[in-house]
Structure 1
Amino acid sequence: MALRFIAKDPNTNGTQCPTAWVDDEAKEIVIQGWQAGEELLAQCRETGPIPETEGVVRLPIRMVSVLREACDVADRLGVH
């Protein structure tokens, strides 16, 4: 796996915080975020089940620019 670090949440101390990467080989955006609580999970399940192989994470809106950068990197990989 060729994991390319994009950025961490800019408003944290740099440890144990939401982070974004791009996996060049798998052609995927990889996100570390805060685990969703039961209330949020219940709301998400209203639109359909969440498979055991998937998870719901929370990211602060201040990370929009980080996610845009990860999307731009992914776009340059040429997969659509």
Structure 2
Amino acid sequence: MPLLFIGIDPNTGDDESPTVWVDQENKELVFQGWKPGPEIEAECAAFEVPGHGKGIPETEAVVRVPARMVPMIREACDAVERAAVQ
């Protein structure tokens, strides 16, 4: 099943396009965002809580998504929850 497009940053330009989708088959949110820069990535990699060791695995990434996209993220959360109960 293709991704369900939820929305794109309303202030996007030609070169930037933070976007949110829902993968209905896998019941997951999919984000495209900006790379956070080395200082933020290093801070995230150094953070340690139970069940989350230090570092960022090769299969994961840190991205930034603007707060103005919160309504789209809420919509995506609702959509993925609907997919989970089907």
TM-score (norm 2): 0.82
CA contact (8 A) 1:29 1:74 kept: yes
CA distance in 2, matches of 1:14, 1:3: 22
SS of 1:25's equivalent in the other structure is coil
CA contact (8 A) 2:25 2:83 kept: no
Structure 2 gap segments, 5+ residues each: 48-53
1:29 aligns with 2:38: no
Give the residue type in structure 2 aligned to 1:68.
Answer: R
Percent of aligned pairs with the same amino acid: 54
SS of 1:58's equivalent in the other structure is coil
Structure 2 equivalent of residue 16 of structure 1: 16
1:66 aligns with 2:72: yes
CA distance in 2, matches of 1:45, 1:73: 30
CA distance in 1, matches of 2:20, 2:14: 13
CA-atom RMSD in angstroms: 1.5
- TM-superposed CA distance for 1:13, in Å, is 3.4
1:45 aligns with 2:51: no
TM-score (norm 1): 0.88
- Residues 37 and 21 (structure 1), Cα distance of their counterparts in 2 relative to 1, 3 Å cut: same
Structure 1 gap segments, 5+ residues each: none
Structure (1 or 2) with the larger CA radius of gyration: 2
Structure with greater proportional strand content:
1
User: How many corresponding residue pairs?
Assistant: 79
CA distance in 2, matches of 1:36, 1:76: 31
